[in-house]
Amino acid sequence: MNTPATGAFAVDACLAAVVEAIADPLLVIGTDYRILLSNRAAREVYGLVFDADGRAGQPCHLAIHGRPAPCHTYRTPPPGALPPGPEMLVQLPAGDLLPVCPLILRPDANACLRSTQRQRTRAGERLFEISAGPLRLADGSFAGIVEVARDVTTRAQAEGMIEYFAYHDQLTGLPNRLLLQERFAQARRRAELKGGGLAMLFIDIDRFKTINDTLGHAAGDALLREVVGRLREHAGESDTICRLGADEFLVLLADGAAGAGESARRLLRSLDAPFSIEGHVLHSSASIGVSLYPDDGDDFAGLLKAADIAMYSAKAAGRNAIRFFDAGMSAGSAERLRMQQLLREALARKELHLHYQPQFDLADTRLVGVEALLRWQSPELGAVPPDRFIPLAEDSGLIVPIGRWVLTEACRQAVAWQEEGLPPLVMAVNLSAIQFARSDVAGSVAEVLAETGLAPALLELELTESVLLQDDASVGAAICKIKALGVRLAIDDFGTGYSSLSYLKRFAAHRLKIDRSFVRDMVSDLEDATLVRAIIQMANALNMSTIAEGVEDGAQAAMLVREGCASAQGYLFGRPAPAAETGALLRRHASPALAQRSLPLLFIGQAEQAASD
């Protein structure tokens, strides 16, 4: 201790040793605000300077708070003063808030005053928990205070983080549902006072689960952070963006409902541009549901429910869409649940069946294969389009048992046609990324081939790019096992998804399937024509075959022939049809005489002649 006996406060050696041993800073401060006594911890923490008589050369407000005058003299912080922080405050009659000063409050002899203060230290500004008691002379007069300070900065930071994450999403830093509810309550009070309204946007990232399952959770998290960046960039200053969970976000428009449509369109456009994630170019989109206060709900729960229902309506409309809530949508949400339940029963009730679309070799005009396409004829719903029930099957996991049935039925039918004496042909069957994620696909394929007796070389499994990009060793192992069986692999819808060339080399598929979106306008659109040509040339360089889907007229077919595409399917050659009709088509083409009079091939010849004239 530096001169433990000073002035009226002589300290014997025993007491001095006790004071020095205290680990927290201890100060004795007189009524003139000067530090009369300090221990080693205080001198080290605050860097106190003593004069020749052993007294601290600075008053407490200067040494500890950096204030040139006692704290209680300030009604507003002076220039250069410490910024306000998480400290216990007292309110003076004039309304000013200042740090608690024990000298002003004069703690009672039987009580200890506690407060929390920011103080300047040699290590910078820190937060201390202060315990102060009165110092009295022998005659009982008040002479100052004895103050012990404990550094609670680390604890406060931890508590602050805990409180922060109680109200914020850890991945994105966005407000969570709890904080959004509080801001909604505040915004509703303002709206009621001003007679205005509010809007809530429910944003769901389309097909995020497929991206997350195929590229891995790290890529999924990176995509979400990119999404948040765009939402923040294009949202209004007064809007609150909240991450509700997984790929769902809420945006509260507090400035009224009038601009809700434009705000939703602006956010939708921002999410439509491609994302570059870990070397992959991802094309995503969003479905946005909009609800208005007070028309669609007078509390947070009601408004959220309405926006949720509107969002599902946007998804049902084909995704990448915006829908405002209306009362009729509630019935639509119930219809979705009803459809899911009926789909669960459809397999057992034999409501599912397969149609087959022929595939032609463009070089020698032979019918070389068919693609199995799933159809659902429901007694309650009628003919349900695949684009309505297949996403529902994937979302619910029903695609796993349904996919196994499709594979079995397609292979069984291929064998049945051979037993009728028809030439062997390739049976193409689609596999979903969900099947790879939730089932032993390779094991199922091996079992089905064994059960049906179909030669592995006559089965072609069509995989989307999302399957091949799954960042999961088990997926790669499953694909290798399937190839080891002798089964053919085709990459479906090539060019519409992630378009990474690395997996083409890694998995060495047999065939690339050119998506119908490129084929549709290739005759009149130079860009689509260039893309088709590039895909064909790349496939040839990799010793892969090509097949174009969605071929509807002879001009398209003729152009594919000129570019070197190996085969094609589409309405020009035949619409998907039940097994009986497809069998009749196979029998016609098994006869060389009938095959020569094929109408599609006549269209090709006409288009080729027109192109040469």
pLDDT band at 503 (very low <50, low <70, confident <90, very high): low
Mean pLDDT along residues 585-606: 64
With cut-offs at 50, 70 and 90, classify the pLDDT of residue 81: very low
- What the block records as the tokens of 476 is 């790669």
Identify whether the C-beta of residue 259 lies closer than 8 Å to the C-beta of residue 238: no
What is the Cα–Cα distance from 422 to 429, expressed in whole angstroms? 20
Taking the C-alpha atoms of residue 526 and residue 521, their distance in angstroms, rounded to an integer, is 9
Nearest to 414 by CA among 354, 362, 363, 350: 354
What percent of the chain is modeled with pLDDT above 90?
A: 41
- Tell me the pLDDT band of 291, cut-offs 50, 70 and 90: very high
> Which pLDDT value is given to residue 188?
92
Percent pLDDT > 70 in the chain is: 83
Please report the pLDDT score of residue 500 as a whole number: 54
> What is the mean pLDDT of the segment spanning 119-133?
87
What residue type is assigned to position 447 of the chain? E
Residue 92: pLDDT band with limits 50, 70, 90: very low
Distance CA 393, CA 234 (A): 34
Mean pLDDT of 364-382: 92
Q: What angle, 0 to 180 degrees and rounded to 10, lies between the N-to-C axes of helices 217-234 and 208-215?
A: 140
pLDDT digits (tens, 9 = 90+) for 529-559: 998 999 999 888 889 999 999 999 999 999 9
Residue 294 has a CB neighbour count (10 Å cut-off) of 15
User: Would you say 573 and 358 are in contact if contact means Cβ atoms under 8 Å apart?
Assistant: yes
pLDDT at 245: 85
pLDDT at 196: 82
pLDDT classification of 370: cutoffs 50, 70, 90:
very high
Q: CA torsion sign, 410 to 413 to 418 to 419?
A: positive
Q: Of 232-241, 306-315, 551-560, 594-603, where does mean pLDDT reach its minimum?
A: 594-603
3 compared with 388, residue with greater pLDDT: 388
CATH numbers and ranges of domains, the chain: 13-159 (3.30.450.20), 168-326 (3.30.70.270), 346-612 (3.20.20.450)
User: Residue 336: pLDDT above 50?
Assistant: yes
- In whole angstroms, how far apart are CA 245 and each of 231, 242, 275, 358? 15, 9, 20, 44
* DSSP state letter for 114: E
Q: What is the pTM of this model?
A: 0.53
pLDDT in tens, 134-176: 888 888 888 888 999 999 888 888 877 777 778 888 888 899 9
Strands 198-205 vs 286-293: parallel, antiparallel or unpaired: antiparallel
Q: Which residue has the higher pLDDT, 568 or 329?
A: 568
Q: Higher pLDDT residue, 12 or 565? A: 565
Question: Is the pLDDT at 386 greater than 80, yes or no?
Answer: yes
Q: DSSP for 472-501? A: -HHHHHHHHHHHHTT-EEEEEEETSS---S
Whether the CB-CB separation of 82 and 99 falls below 8 Å is answered with: no
Kindly indicate the confidence band of residue 3, based on its pLDDT and cuts at 50, 70 and 90.
very low
Residues present in the chain in total: 613
**144-148, Cβ contacts within 8 angstroms, sequence gap of 24 or more:** 144/28, 144/29, 144/30, 144/31, 144/36, 144/103, 145/28, 145/29, 145/102, 145/103, 145/107, 146/26, 146/27, 146/28, 147/26, 147/27, 147/28, 147/29, 147/102, 148/22, 148/24, 148/25, 148/26
Q: Return the pLDDT at 193.
A: 86
Tens of pLDDT, residues 399-451: 999 999 999 999 999 999 999 999 999 999 999 888 887 788 999 999 999 99
* Cα–Cα distance, 468 to 470 (Å, whole number): 6
pLDDT at 332 (0 to 100): 62
- Give the DSSP H/E element, type plus range, for residue 356: strand 352-361
pLDDT of residue 224: 93
pLDDT digits (tens, 9 = 90+) for 187-246: 999 988 888 889 999 999 987 877 877 788 888 899 999 999 999 999 988 899 999 988
The alpha carbon of 337 is separated from its chain's Cα centroid by a whole number of angstroms, namely 24
Count CB-CB contacts under 10 A for residue 70. 17
The partner residues of 250 in beta bridges, in order of sequence, read: 202, 242
The 8-class DSSP code of residue 257 comes to S
